[in-house]
Structure 1
């Protein structure tokens, strides 16, 4: 028995590797030959790449007490969605795009007659700005309902931004001009309902095994920049017949970003990629195949290093820079908490009630 390390630090939410078997069916899409595909250069036609990510944060849990004595849960939260605009050929500096905080007052919809107004937290010093929280209902009365609502709003904003920034992607098999001029790299899987755009989801953690025991061995033999052939699956497929086939089809493939040290597991340095697939298709559109071919070269250029990022190499350099910018946009959590306490004291404290 060999003991190998998971490369990610133990204080992250999840490890880099879990590999729960996918319950549904996975089909060959590009070829029936299961072998490594060599990396190719990034064509000049691809003019810009935008890395999109989001960051949620809960800032206070609330308990709402109505006049009839009913209690319900709520919370102040915030999220930021933004992008890094970069040239894949290195001809210009990268730029941040659209990084701005949105603040949410999430409350349960289970309390009849509850309708919260926007909350404006005005500071004593006008130069520090106002915090405007916009009310949003969440279903149920669970303790984590407010957090889930903030997360959902962030994911929806991510999907909208990715779709708005990405070029249209023809789903034709032979179009020679199918490679877009603008490609969006979106942190995480692509979202439901976003087909037809050049959005490439990159999944940093390997929590689901789409390959099975007979194919997963190829991942450990990939060289940096090499990829697997493109596969196809259906989101949510539980392998239980027509009633559980899932909602939308996806293309997926794996890319190696770097060789792992000998003490890490052999899948360290491997990332899974994902794009929308047309329904009932038995081919890979030319644009998707072109993106798959350049993905290894592009992502190896953007991969982080262990001495700079503990989640290297999967946490891309632009992603790490964007995470820092999003944290600054949301502000100091300690100062925000103080502002919330001061607001509640002003609105509902003894002086306000008197």
Structure 2
């Protein structure tokens, strides 16, 4: 047998968090599965001349970086009791979103915005809000009774919280145009906010051809690929960059960053260079974070703070149990 033998790479992420990229098993999106989105790869460079890029030496990071993220937790599973004797499954969930402000001049970080909410998610048309002690779970009527899918319905309200804190912090904590707002995940409804980037740390679809994907996997830490445009309803200008970290799998340490297509292409390129001198300084290390290097250090700290704001899970579960028992009809 001739040729080099195949080898293995261990994904840097802890298996409890899945993988740093989503590999499809049967027809879903993954890093080797082509996206159906229309992609314009000639925004910054013609596709035939794509190569790894470094930021020009004149590019400096902003004075302030604002990072947005959210967390959620399922507090209890419940069942309703309908007037006709039937029953629907439901879940009680707590979720929070917040912003950490990193002042790069002072080397200081602080949480400057936070919101916490709770909901009761069920397909029941009769279920009321549920009050557990001093906490109210507002009912959200959803379109599924599949217990396995109910937890997914929490993402919508959580995203709305993230959008709200993003808009608030952009109004209240702008640093004379010398700041950058980074939201964890796609931009979604925040494309109108100034100097805002979406930070996608898990790669779920391949937007580029095999030849251009090879440029991405050849990136060294601190390099990015040229800017391209994704033409979907939620599309935008986008680019991949590799964060610093130990050598590993081809996509290890690679994140996708996006900005609004409402911007001129030259502004998208400027933001791409700005991201390249800003985001790598926040990269985490494996001994501190099982999702290193993609789960940025300020984001990890923000997640810990937000989880603390959700309250004691055991006390809430007990309060929900007592409240649900008290709401059942007697007789």
Please report the TM-score for the alignment, with normalisation by the length of structure 2: 0.85
Gaps of 5+ in 1: 123-129, 168-178, 236-246
Aligned residues of 2:115 and 2:161 also touching (Cα < 8 A): no
Taking the TM superposition and a 5 Å limit, the aligned residue runs for 1:152-301 are 152-166=156-170, 180-192=177-189, 194-235=191-232, 247-261=233-247, 264-278=248-262, 284-286=265-267, 288-301=268-281
Out of 61, 76, 83, the position equivalent to 1:67 is: 83
Q: 1:43 to 1:15 in 2, by over 3 A?
A: closer
Superposed CA RMSD in Å reads: 2.4
Taking the TM superposition and a 5 Å limit, the aligned residue runs for 1:1-354 are 1-16=6-21, 18=23, 19=31, 20-27=33-40, 28-32=42-46, 33-40=49-56, 43=60, 46-87=62-103, 89-108=104-123, 111=125, 114=126, 116=128, 118-122=129-133, 130-144=134-148, 146-166=150-170, 180-192=177-189, 194-235=191-232, 247-261=233-247, 264-278=248-262, 284-286=265-267, 288-348=268-328, 353=330
Residue aligning to 2:26 = none
Shift of 1:86: 0.8
- How many residues are aligned here? 311
Alpha-carbon distance in 2 for matches of 1:51, 1:284: 24
Alpha-carbon distance in 2 for matches of 1:3, 1:336: 44
Alpha-carbon distance in 1 for matches of 2:76, 2:256: 35
Shift of 1:132: 1.8
Aligned residues of 1:73 and 1:143 also touching (Cα < 8 A): yes
Residues 133-184 of structure 1 deviation map (CA, whole Å, 9 limit, x = unaligned): 12222124332454233211001221232233337xxxxxxxxxxx943321
Gaps of 5+ in 2: 1-5, 24-30
